[in-house]
Amino acid sequence: MTEPTGTEPTTEPTAEPTAGPALERRPLGRTGLEVSVMGFGGASIGNLFRAVDDTTAHDAVDAAFDAGVRYFDTAPHYGVGLSERRLGRALAQRPREDYVLSTKVGRLLVRNEQPTGSDLEAGFDTPDDLRRALDYSALGVRRSLEESLERLGVDHIDVVLVHDADDHMDQALTEALPELARLRDEGVIGAVGVGMNGWREPLRCVEAGLVDVVMLAGRWTLLDRTGEPLLEACAERGVAVLAAAPFNSGLLSRAEPRGDSHFDYASPDPRLLEAARRLADLAREHGTTLPHLALHFPLRHRAVASVVTGQAKPAHATASAAWLATPVPEAVWPEADSIVQGVL
C-alpha cells in the first residue's frame, strides 16, 4: 500500500448515533478466526503525519477494545516499529485469546547510518534511527516476523500480511507467501495474506490459492468500487477481505464534504466531490451521516469480514464503533448506488 492501511482520519459524528447492539463479529474466511466488523488500524499510533503521545495511543487502543473491537492491525512500517511496540503494550493485559492480531512482512527495520532526526519523509512523526529495507525473501520474512513478535511481546500472530509487494510480486509468490504458509503449518501464525492498495496483484495471489486473507485499502469504498473483481474471487474461494481506508483518506469522513478534503491523498475530482455532497444530503434525509454510510458500505459484500480504520484518539475509536454498531436504513442503498453509478 502506497499509504499505510487505515491511515485516514476518523471524524467524530456531529450528532450522537443511536445506541446500537455490540459490534458484530464475522468469521475470517475459513481460517477458524473471528473478527469484529471494525478493525483497529495501527498506523495512527505509529505517529502517522503527526505525533501522539504514549498515553493517548494507549487510551485509543483501550477505547477500541472497550467498544467491542477485537481485531487489531499493525506493521513494522508504521513509525519504524513504534506502532507495534505501542500496540503490544496496550494489549499486554488483555487475554491473548480475546483478540485477533495482524502484522505485516516485507520491510525489515535496520540501523539508519544517516539519520536526519525525523521520519516524516516516510510519513511518520518519529525519530529515524531505523530505516526500512524491502525484503520479500523467505529469510527476510522469518526475520521480520521474529522481530515483530519481540516488539509486540506476543508468542504468536494470528494473521501475517505480505505488505506492499505490488512491484515485487514474483518474489512474493515464490518466496514470501510459501514461507508464511510454512510458518502457518508450524503454528507460528494462524493465517496468510497480502495487503495492498491495488486489486490486481492480490487477485493473482487469490487465484494461485496462496492466501487466506486479503487486506484491500481504498478500492472497495462508497466512492471507489474498482476492487469488486477481487472481492468476487475471494467470495468464491472462501478468502476473507479486510476493507481498509473506507473514507478514501478523508473525503467521506465528514458529514459535510469540503473542497479541501483529500481523496486517496490528493485533491478530489470535482465529480467525486459533488457525488460526496449528494451522498451526504441523502444520508441526512435518512437521519444519518456520510461517515456512517462510508463505514457500513464495505460490509455489504459477503467477502468482507471487517472494516479497518485509523484510530489516533479514544474519541475516534468510540465514535466509529458506535456508528458500526448502529444499522444504516436499508432504503439508503439503492439511491446511494445510483448516485455513485452516475459518477464512476
In the predicted structure, residue 67 carries a pLDDT above the cut 50: yes
CA distance 247 to 244: 9
**Band of residue 11 on the pLDDT scale cut at 50, 70, 90:** very low
- Structural domain spans, the chain: 25-341
Using alpha carbons, select from 307, 276, 231, 274 the residue that is nearest to residue 73: 307
pTM: 0.93
DSSP E strand boundaries for the chain: 25-27, 34-36, 38-41, 71-73, 100-105, 107-111, 130-134, 157-163, 189-196, 213-217, 240-244, 304-310
The number of residues in the chain equals 344
What CA–CA distance (Å, rounded) separates 319 from 321? 5
Matching CATH number, 25-341, of 3.20.20.100, 3.30.1330.10, 3.40.190.10, 3.30.365.10 = 3.20.20.100
Q: For the chain, percent helix, then strand, then coil, each to nearest 5?
A: 40, 20, 40
Question: For residues 217 and 195, is the Cβ–Cβ distance under 8 A?
Answer: yes
pLDDT band for position 10 (50/70/90)?
very low
Q: Which residue has the cell 493473482?
A: 204
Q: Which of 71, 78, 99, 136 is catalytic?
A: 78
Which distant-in-sequence residues (6+ apart) come within 8 Å of 272 by Cβ? 223, 251, 263, 343
**Residue partners of 139: CB distance under 8 A and separation at least 6:** none
Supply the pLDDT for residue 3.
Answer: 46
Q: How far apart are the first and last CA of the chain?
A: 22
Q: Per DSSP, which regions of 107-257 are E strands? A: 107-111, 130-134, 157-163, 189-196, 213-217, 240-244
Q: Which of 162, 91, 76, 61 shows the shortest CA–CA distance to 126? A: 76
Q: Which pLDDT does position 221 carry in this prediction?
A: 97
Sequential DSSP letters for 84-116: HHHHHHHHTTS-GGGSEEEEEESEEEEE-SS--
In the residue annotation, 99 being an active-site residue is answered as no
What pLDDT shows up at residue 162? 98
Residue type, 320: S
Residues with Cβ within 8 Å of residue 150, at least 6 apart in sequence: none
Is the pLDDT assigned to residue 16 strictly greater than 80?
no
Flag whether pLDDT at 13 surpasses 90: no
Is a pLDDT exceeding 70 seen at residue 298? yes
Sign of the torsion angle spanned by Cα atoms 204, 229, 304, 253: positive
What's the CA gap between 166 and 176, in Å, rounded?
Answer: 13
What's the burial of 134, exposed, middle or buried (CB within 10 Å: 0-12/13-18/19+)? middle
